[in-house]
Chains A and B, each alone.
Chain A
Amino acid sequence: MSTFDRVLAPQQDAVIATNKLIRNTYMLLSMTLLFSVVTAGAGMAMGISPAISMIATLGAIGLLWLVLPRTENSAAGLAVVFGITGLLGLGLGPLLTHYLAIPGGGKLVATALGGTGVIFLGLSGYALTTRRDFNFMGGFLFVGLVVALIAMIANLFMEIPALSLAISGVIVLLMSGMILYDTSRIVNGGETNYLRATVSLYLDFYNLFIHLLHLLTAFAGGDD
């Protein structure tokens, strides 16, 4: 092997590893999104109650915090990722049933889903093609997320519709930033595990969809 090859070989290995990570992440992301659609449909068909929906969401959070970190480097981690996304999909059942019951609700849900897809593909594609490092946004995004969570806790009890709309608007912007941040971490070596990368991007998509749906319903004059 020449000196030239020895210098280039590690760089080529890194590029191959990154490309493999990107391919695995987006393949798993598309499968988990489809799986969530199936479980959300099942949740709607079974007419699960908001209480069951909440338990499913709490179960997903439990898997995310307690089980995924211990299994992310094994084959079991794949099942955990499907468990998280399946439970989150199931938890969406009553929410979607509520929105679909609103006049024109089907169109609102379809618009929110299509809009989320366009935003996700646009931002993720932008970060992938420019290969820019958006790591500098991390602190700003996480502090913003903490502030939004505190506002959500307050509004659970205050129930101010304008604050609820403002929170959704802020979360849509934060999730858009998170898509850039998470994709850039995959491209630039900040994230090397495809299971973690998939769950991060899935959560960006999931939160973006829910809050975009809330915004669209409110502005369309729905009962939300």
Chain B
Amino acid sequence: MDMWMKIALAVVLGIMVIRLWPAAMHMMKHGPEGSNEDWRAALLPIAAVVGFIILLILMVRGN
């Protein structure tokens, strides 16, 4: 990637960080807190995604 493209991309990503940061901090401070059961309900499907991706990696490595 050319240097000008890297710089342009870095600027755009930097603007994204600047836009997202206040919202992220606000959500962390004032957002609802999940119970253990809530987190379990969220982490279970995410764990299934991890397992599925490992399966996909094994599939593409097998070829």
Which A residues fall within an 8 A CB radius of B? 50-51, 54, 58, 61, 65, 104, 107-108, 111, 115, 118-119, 122-123, 126, 130, 132-140, 142-143, 145-146, 149-150, 152-153, 156-157, 172-173, 176-177, 180, 212, 215-216, 219-221
State the main secondary structure of chain A at its contact with B. helix
Contact A172 B53 (CB under 8 A): yes
Contact A145 B46 (CB under 8 A): no
Which B residues fall within an 8 A CB radius of A? 1-2, 5-6, 8-10, 12-14, 16-17, 19-21, 23-25, 27-29, 31-34, 38-39, 41-42, 45-46, 48-50, 52-53, 56-57, 59-61, 63
Question: What are 25 sample pairs from A and B whose C-beta atoms fall under 8 A apart?
Answer: A50-B1, A54-B8, A54-B9, A104-B60, A115-B56, A119-B52, A123-B49, A136-B32, A136-B33, A136-B38, A137-B42, A139-B24, A139-B28, A145-B24, A146-B17, A146-B20, A146-B24, A149-B13, A149-B20, A156-B9, A157-B10, A173-B49, A180-B42, A212-B53, A219-B61
Q: How many A-B residue pairs have CB under 8 A?
A: 115
